[in-house]
Copies of this chain bind each other. A is one copy, B any other.
């Protein structure tokens, strides 16, 4: 990489002259400016980012900590973050906590050494189970703003972007009740997560209000359980079940395919709705009716909130929570 120093030497002028010329300072003579710019062009000069960061005491870099990059929603949010960040000239450093509290702490620690100007993160499963929040508070008190999305720690004072999980599930369940479904089961493989719990509560509320059936819940343990087997044996044992509402896409897809496999007519005698993305809905015939999360928008919003905060305010003070509404995309797995 060429430096100002080298350009200055070759041009026989001082470093600051070169710097000013490249920054279009009014102080420098037209002629000099031209000569400098030509040489800079020739050598493909780019200001050294690290030097600038040191000078300005900001890196124009956002730290993103994601629990699991294989989760489609989280990946999509990351996409949104990256897109919006790039638009504003920010880079993103990505760490994957792999749902581990320890790795999450480390990543936060490691990047809080001047590598980034702020964080966007979704809380790891282990962190939520243990209800740990000290590391977040510490980071914020060091002056580094945090924006949390999707899985958030409510007791931490920071900006948040969340989904209307409760309402979405409440409404979706009600739509199944309107179809006259009499025995709706809620299936979830994310019951340890805050969002999973909210979704279950939304389901419960709708069922209890309606008063025709008791809540019926099937919880899958990711990693441990054989997803297909668990759902198949459940549906076999509970022949009166006539609808599934799934908190995650896999449970939805598998439930629908299993129902078909068991000879049930979908949607005539059996309905399925799931939190899922468009490509998931292609994995069943008929196509799955889905609750869409607009994950990219979540990422975009999170990035916007963080950038705004980094440019203006202290890390805590007047924090906001933005709710990105879900929408239901009706396909042929419901009436």
* Interfacial residues, chain A to chain B (CB-CB below 8 A): 1, 46-51, 53-54, 59, 61, 69-70, 72, 75-76, 78-79, 82-83, 86, 91-96, 98, 109-115, 142-143, 227-228, 250, 253-254, 257-258, 260-261, 279, 282-285, 287
A106 nearest CB across to chain B (Å): 8
Structural contact, B79 and A75, CB atoms closer than 8 A = no
Q: What residues of chain B lie closer than 8 Å to A83, measured between beta carbons?
A: 96, 98
Name the one of B79, B113, B257 contacting A1, with C-beta atoms under 8 angstroms. Answer: B113
Known contacts A49-B114, A250-B283, then 15 further A-B pairs from the complex at CB < 8 Å, ordered by chain A residue: A1-B143, A46-B113, A47-B113, A50-B59, A51-B114, A70-B72, A75-B75, A78-B94, A82-B95, A82-B96, A91-B110, A228-B287, A257-B257, A257-B285, A283-B283
Instruction: Please report the C-alpha to C-alpha distance between residue A257 and residue B50 in the assembled complex, in whole angstroms.
Output: 53
Contacts A258-B285, A285-B257 known; A114 to B76 CB distance under 8 Å?
no
Q: What residues of chain B lie closer than 8 Å to A49, measured between beta carbons?
A: 113-115
Number of this chain's copies in the complex: 2
Instruction: Please report the C-alpha to C-alpha distance between residue A283 and residue B277 in the assembled complex, in whole angstroms.
Output: 14
Q: What residues of chain B lie closer than 8 Å to A253, measured between beta carbons?
A: 282-283
A138 nearest CB across to chain B (Å): 8
24 examples of A-B residue contacts, CB within 8 angstroms = A1-B112, A1-B142, A1-B143, A46-B109, A46-B112, A46-B114, A49-B114, A50-B50, A50-B53, A50-B54, A50-B59, A51-B114, A54-B54, A69-B69, A70-B72, A75-B75, A82-B95, A86-B95, A91-B93, A91-B110, A93-B93, A257-B284, A258-B285, A283-B283
Structural contact, A70 and B75, CB atoms closer than 8 A = yes
Instruction: Please report the C-alpha to C-alpha distance between residue A75 and residue B227 in the assembled complex, in whole angstroms.
Output: 22
